[in-house]
A and B are shown apart, each in its own frame.
Chain A
Amino acid sequence: MTLAAEAARTAAHGFLSPTGVEVAFLLVGLATLGAALLTVTTRQLVHAALWLVVALGGLAVEYLLLTAEFIAWVQVLIYVGSVVVLLLFGLMLTKAPVGRSPDADSGNRPVALAVALAAAAALVWVVVDAFRTTWIDLDGPAQGSTDVMGQILFQHWVLPFEALSVLLLAALVGAIVLSRKKKEDES
C-alpha cells in the first residue's frame, strides 16, 4: 500500500474519533480483561470459575460486535454452559475449599508475572505496529450468521467436521476410561 493511500484511509476513518462499535468493543473488552485478571488472581477457587463466566460471556459479546453471531452463541452454549459447569464439578469433586485458600498461587509468582508482562508487551507492540492502518469493514451482511456458517461448514468443511466428531467420541471414551473406578482385584 502506498503512503498516499494509507493517509487517505487514515483520514477517511479518523484516527481519534472512534465509532460506536469501537467504543462498545473497548468497554466490553475492558470488562472482559478485568474479569480475566480476577480469574487468575482471586484466592477463592469458586469465584475464579464464576469470573471465568464473565470473561467468556464478554468474549461472546465481542464476537457479536464482530458480526460473528453463530460463534457467539456457540461460545455461550459450550463455554459458559458446559465448560464452566465441568470446571465447577471438578472443583467440587477435588474437594476444593469454598472460602479463601491461601495457597492458590505457587511460589513462582514473580517469575510468572515477569514472563506474562514481557509476552504482553512484545505481542501488543508487534500487533499495534503491524496493524496501525488496518480497518475492519463491518458493513454489509453479517459474515458469521447461522445461515452463512451452516452453508460453509457443510459444504467446504465437512471432512474436518466429521474428523472432529471422531475426536470428540475418542475424548468421551477416554474420559470415561480414565474416571472409571478400578476394581480391587485388578490392581
Chain B
Amino acid sequence: MHLAYPAVLAALLFAVGLYGVLARRNAILVLMSVELMLNAVNLNLVAFDVWLRDTLHAGQALTLFTIAIAAAEIGIGLSIVLMVHRNRGTSDIDRLRDTKEQPAAGEQPSAEEKAEAAA
C-alpha cells in the first residue's frame, strides 16, 4: 500500500478536528473534535509502525497508550464540563469569559462573585 494514503487521511482528519475545536461552541463538541485529532495521530503511528516493521512495535504500543490517555482525558474533561455546567448553567465556551481582561475595570463583580461561589 502506498504510504501516502494513511498519511493523507490522517492529515485531513487532523484538519477536520482542528476546525471542530476552533469553530464549535459547546464544550462537549470540542471534546469530540479533540478525539478526532487524537485518532488522526493514532492512524499515523500505526501506519508508520507497519511501514518501518519495527521489532519493538513502538508505534502500536504508543497507539495503545494514546488510546488509554484519551480515555482518561475524556473522563476528566467531561467531569470538568459537568462541573462548569452545574455551577454556571451553561457549557458554552464563548460564555466563560471570567479570565478575560476587561477594557475598563469595575464592570464585572457579578462574574467574579459567581466564580468565587463556585470554587
Footprint of B on A, CB under 8 Å?
13, 18-19, 21-22, 25-26, 29, 32-33, 36-37, 39-40, 45, 48-49, 52, 55-56, 59, 62-63, 65-68, 70-71, 74-75, 78-79, 82-83, 86-87, 89-91, 93-96, 101, 103-109, 111-113, 115-117, 119-120, 123-124, 127-128, 131-132, 134-138, 143-144, 148-149, 152-153, 156-157, 160-161, 164, 167-168, 170-172, 174-175, 178-179, 187
A37 and B94 contact, CB distance less than 8 A = no
Proximity bits, B52-92, A CB within 8 Å = 1, else 0: 01001100110111011111111110111111010000011
Write out the residue numbers on chain B whose beta carbons fall within 8 Å of the beta carbon of A127: 4, 7-8, 11
**Which one of B7, B12, B42 lies within 8 Å of A59 (CB-CB)?**
B42
User: Given A39-B36, A94-B91: A143 and B53 within 8 A (CB)?
Assistant: yes
B5 and A111 contact, CB distance less than 8 A = no
B119 vs chain A, min Cβ distance (A): 9
25 A/B residue pairs, CB under 8 Å, sorted by A: A32-B9, A39-B32, A40-B29, A55-B13, A66-B46, A83-B35, A90-B82, A93-B82, A93-B85, A94-B85, A94-B91, A105-B24, A112-B22, A116-B15, A116-B18, A116-B19, A120-B12, A123-B11, A137-B53, A144-B46, A156-B56, A160-B61, A164-B69, A171-B75, A172-B72
B77 vs chain A, min Cβ distance (A): 9
4 additional contacts (CB under 8 A) given A62-B43, A171-B72: A115-B22, A124-B11, A136-B47, A171-B76
**How far, in whole Å, are A138 and B34 apart by their CA atoms in the complex?**
30
**How far, in whole Å, are A87 and B79 apart by their CA atoms in the complex?**
11
Write out the residue numbers on chain B whose beta carbons fall within 8 Å of the beta carbon of A86: 74-75, 78
Interface SS of chain A: helix, strand, loop or mixed? helix
- Which chain A residue shows the least CB distance to B75? A175
| Residue picked from A22, A94, A109, most chain B C-beta under 10 Å | A94
**How far, in whole Å, are A114 and B84 apart by their CA atoms in the complex?**
30
Write out the residue numbers on chain A whose beta carbons fall within 8 Å of the beta carbon of B94: 106-107
Chain B: residues with Cβ within 8 Å of the partner, total of 70
A136 and B36 contact, CB distance less than 8 A = no
User: Given A108-B23, A175-B79, A179-B83: A123 and B53 within 8 A (CB)?
Assistant: no
B26 vs chain A, min Cβ distance (A): 6
